[in-house]
Amino acid sequence: MSALLQVEGLVKTFPAGGPPWRRRRVHAVSGVDLVVGEGRTLGLVGESGSGKS
């Protein structure tokens, strides 16, 4: 089966809390590898406003 989507070393951070000069970085995802094969289904779930898009 061939890979339709392949991600290696995915990192996602975002600023959280307070004014811009005091914001800290939150590491939502760090070092994720993912392979979705042709003909497979992938579902992404999470709370409203959690950044799925």
Residue bearing the bigger pLDDT, 33 or 14: 33
Is residue 53 within 8 Å of 12, Cβ to Cβ?
no
The total of structural domains in the chain comes to 1
* Residue 14 in domain: yes
What's the whole-model pTM score? Answer: 0.61
Per the structure, the complete domain to which residue 26 belongs is given by 3-37
Predicted pLDDT at 2? 87
Q: Are 9 and 34 in contact (CB under 8 A)?
A: no
In a domain? residue 30 = yes
- Is 51 within a domain? no
Q: Is 20 helix (H, G, I), strand (E, B) or coil?
A: helix
pLDDT band at 11 (very low <50, low <70, confident <90, very high): very high
Is the model more confident about 51 or about 34? 34
The pLDDT, as a whole number, for residue 6 is 95
